[in-house]
């Protein structure tokens, strides 16, 4: 879906992939509306929303959902980065993002700890992982990319044990026992191997990804396959603002 709205330029170097997705301006509203449709499930489970709506009505259910939406422009921007990267990994790369992490945030204006997003792909007795850092910035900086590289390289390039355990426990809590048990068994009995892990840097920005982001991609010397996606949106700030305003219009 996302790539179909963009001009796509792809570079492949050995096991690594760099893509620039430049949103066509005429598809701005389509992307905005698509992300509006995706946001509620990232902040509140459909089961929780439906339960509150049935017992207390639609207006109260929305107030409960709205309390999850961040007020801080910086946190809003970061959330959109995480949500669109989740969508991309599931729809374009064929991985599963097993939990909607933002549902468990301590406070709506606080960034969450741990890896931004962990995605999984189950193949027979093996599990493949994507460790993702998602960044959203109107103007992309070297510091942002250095920070992302540092996070991707942490824990020897693998997903952090805390992040994996967080996923397992949330899956059990939400009665996704089969996936939880398979992941727990894999982690503690088979152990994660380096060749089961890929890194994804997903950036949504007004800047040109072919400059700083491409340089960061070219400078990587590690052994993990890299996927670097730069989504260029000319109206970056407007996209963030209109997504949250659009949610208000839907539920008002």
List the domain boundaries for the chain. 3-251
Beta carbons of 74 and 15 less than 8 angstroms apart: no
Per-residue pLDDT reduced to its tens digit, 41-66 = 888 888 888 888 888 888 888 888 88
Q: Is the dihedral of CA 104, 148, 236, 72 positive or negative?
A: positive
Looking at residue 135, what is its pLDDT? Answer: 93
Beta strands across the sheet bearing 16-23: 6-13, 16-23, 226-232, 197-205, 126-137, 117-123
Average pLDDT, rounded, for the chain? 90
pTM, two decimal places: 0.90
Per-residue pLDDT reduced to its tens digit, 207-241 = 999 999 999 999 999 999 999 999 999 999 999 99
Beta carbons of 50 and 62 less than 8 angstroms apart: no
Looking at residue 249, what is its pLDDT? Answer: 64
| pLDDT value at 127 more than 70 | yes
Spatial separation of the C-alpha atoms in residues 71 and 241, rounded to whole Å = 11
Q: Is the dihedral of CA 107, 113, 117, 123 positive or negative?
A: negative
Spatial separation of the C-alpha atoms in residues 101 and 167, rounded to whole Å = 8
Spatial separation of the C-alpha atoms in residues 194 and 142, rounded to whole Å = 27
DSSP bridge pairs for 19: 10, 229
Enclosing H/E stretch for 43: helix 28-43
Torsion, Cα 36 43 45 113, to 10 degrees, reads 140
DSSP state for residue 99 in the 8-state scheme: S
């Amino acid at each position: 879906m996302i790539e179909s709205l963009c001009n796509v330029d792809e570079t492949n170097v050995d096991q690594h992939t760099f893509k620039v997705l430049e949103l066509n301006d005429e598809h701005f509203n389509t992307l905005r509306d698509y992300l509006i449709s995706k946001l509620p499930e990232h902040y509140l489970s459909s089961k929780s929303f439906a339960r509150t709506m049935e017992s207390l009505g639609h207006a109260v259910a929305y107030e409960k959902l709205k309390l999850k939406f961040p007020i801080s422009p910086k946190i809003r921007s970061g959330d959109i980065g995480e949500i669109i990267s989740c969508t991309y990994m599931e729809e374009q790369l064929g991985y599963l993002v097993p939990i909607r992490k933002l549902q468990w945030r301590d406070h709506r204006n606080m960034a969450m700890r741990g890896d931004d997003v962990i995605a999984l792909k189950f193949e027979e007795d093996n599990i493949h992982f994507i460790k993702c850092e998602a960044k959203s910035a109107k103007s992309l900086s070297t510091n942002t990319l250095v920070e992302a590289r540092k996070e991707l390289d942490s824990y020897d390039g693998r997903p952090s044990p805390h992040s994996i355990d967080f996923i397992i426990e949330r899956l059990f809590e939400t009665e996704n026992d089969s996936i939880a048990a398979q992941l727990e068994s894999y982690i503690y009995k088979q152990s994660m191997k380096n060749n089961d892990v890929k890194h994804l840097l997903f950036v949504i920005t007004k800047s040109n990804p072919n400059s700083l982001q491409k340089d960061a991609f070219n400078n990587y010397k590690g052994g993990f396959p890299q996927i670097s996606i730069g989504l260029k949106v000319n109206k970056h700030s407007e996209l963030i603002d209109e997504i949250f305003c659009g949610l208000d219009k839907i539920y008002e």
